[in-house]
Amino acid sequence: MNIVVLLKQTPDTESVIRIAGDGKSIVTDGLKWIINPYDEFALEAALRLKDKLKGKVSVVSYGPPRVVEALRTALAMGADDAVLIDDPVLKTADYLRVTKALTAAIKELNPDLIFTGSRAIDYDQGQRGAIVAENLDWPHLALAVAVDCDGSVVTIERPIEGGKVILESPLPALVTFGGAHAIWNPRYASLPGIMKAKKKPIAMKKVTDLGFDPANFEPETARIRITSLEKPAERKQGRIINGDLDVVGKAAELVRSLHEEAKVI
């Protein structure tokens, strides 16, 4: 069983996000970087499946050299090898081009299953998995909160508004992961894991290594771009419902405020 986990490095969830001078990107100096939590859920699911069925887990990512750290973490958690597409042309390419390069890198690994996060906590477009599946003409099962595979069929549970769906597909297939830490509980890298990871291979690729002409990734080929970023409007200063009232008084005052001022109850 060959499983590819597609992962992205994102700023830590604690990060305060500041807009850079160009008005359309964020300040990255001083940010702490992590594996996108949903991709980490996908990795955990892949490692559990490897424990059950044997085989290999490869991680694939793109981005600048700092992403090596995320890949080392994945290797320390138990992945076997990694590929990083580190090519400056991807910096200005739109996500359609980036997923093209990712698809090519994945193909070389000949997987039976591809696991990835249902969304990334940075730009949160939640499209990567479905696009890769479409590029490969594979079925995809999205937003798994539970997964099982017997080596030939993969089954997931997918929450929808007001219910849940059980989806099933023969392999090969792509699965995207949702849920929360409470479900997946991703393992920490152990000390021996970290030592072993130092010897595991990370293949660095440029788009030319994947058979592309870099001209196809130039900024003018982009179909979409971010024109600006903006901060949410500051919230109006609120008020503490006053300490002179007793509990019942505060409760009555809150009801009155919500009814008469906010008009929400």
Partner 1 sequence: MAKCVCVIAEFRNGNFRRVSFEVASEGKRVADALGLELYGVAVGSGVASKAAELGRYGVRKVLVRDDPALENYLAETHVPIVAEMVGRLDPAVILLPASVDGKDLGSRLGAKLRVALVQDVVQIVCEDGRVRAKWPIFAGKCFAWSEWLGGTLPVISCRPNVMSCREPDDSFAAEVENVDVPIPQARSHVKAIDYDTSGKVELSEAEIIISGGRGMKEASNYSMLEELAQLLGAAVGASRAAVDSGWRPHSDQVGQTGKVVNPDLYIAVGISGAIQHLAGMGSSKYIVAINRDPDAPIFSKADYGIVEDLFKFIPAFTEEVRKHKSTCS
Ligand X SMILES: Cc1cc2nc3c(=O)[nH]c(=O)nc-3n(C[C@H](O)[C@H](O)[C@H](O)COP(=O)(O)OP(=O)(O)OC[C@H]3O[C@@H](n4cnc5c(N)ncnc54)[C@H](O)[C@@H]3O)c2cc1C
Site for ligand X in 36-95 (CB under 6 A): 37
Q: Write down the least CB distance from residue 10 to ligand X, Å.
A: 10
Q: Write down the least CB distance from residue 103 to partner 1, Å.
A: 10
- Exposure of 258 in the CB half-sphere (CA atoms within 13 A): 9
Contact present, 194 and 76 (Cβ < 8 Å): yes
Which of 32, 54, 199, 239 is the binder for partner 1 (CB under 8 A)? 239
Contact present, 46 and 70 (Cβ < 8 Å): no
User: What is the enclosing helix (H) or strand (E) of 248?
Assistant: helix 247-256
Which of 127, 186, 193, 206 is the binder for partner 1 (CB under 8 A)? 127
Interacting residues of 78 by C-beta distance below 8 A, sequence separation 6+: 47, 50, 57, 187, 193
Query: Does residue 66 interact with partner 1 by CB under 8 A?
Result: no
Which residues in the 134-153 window bind partner 1 by CB under 8 A? Answer: 134-135, 139-143, 145
Q: 136 contacts which partner out of ligand X, partner 1, none, CB within 5 to 8 A by kind? A: none
Q: Write down the least CB distance from residue 254 to ligand X, Å.
A: 14
Contact present, 45 and 66 (Cβ < 8 Å): no
Contact present, 83 and 52 (Cβ < 8 Å): no
Query: Does residue 131 interact with partner 1 by CB under 8 A?
Result: yes
Gap between the Cα atoms of 219 and 234, Å rounded: 34
C-beta closer to ligand X: residue 32 or 225: 32
User: What is the enclosing helix (H) or strand (E) of 68?
Assistant: helix 67-77
Contact present, 135 and 172 (Cβ < 8 Å): no
Which residues in the 116-175 window bind ligand X by CB under 6 A? Answer: none
C-beta closer to partner 1: residue 191 or 233: 233
Query: Does residue 13 interact with ligand X by CB under 6 A?
Result: yes
Which residues in the 173-232 window bind partner 1 by CB under 8 A? Answer: 173, 179-183, 222-232
Q: Point out which residues bind ligand X (CB under 6 A).
A: 13, 37
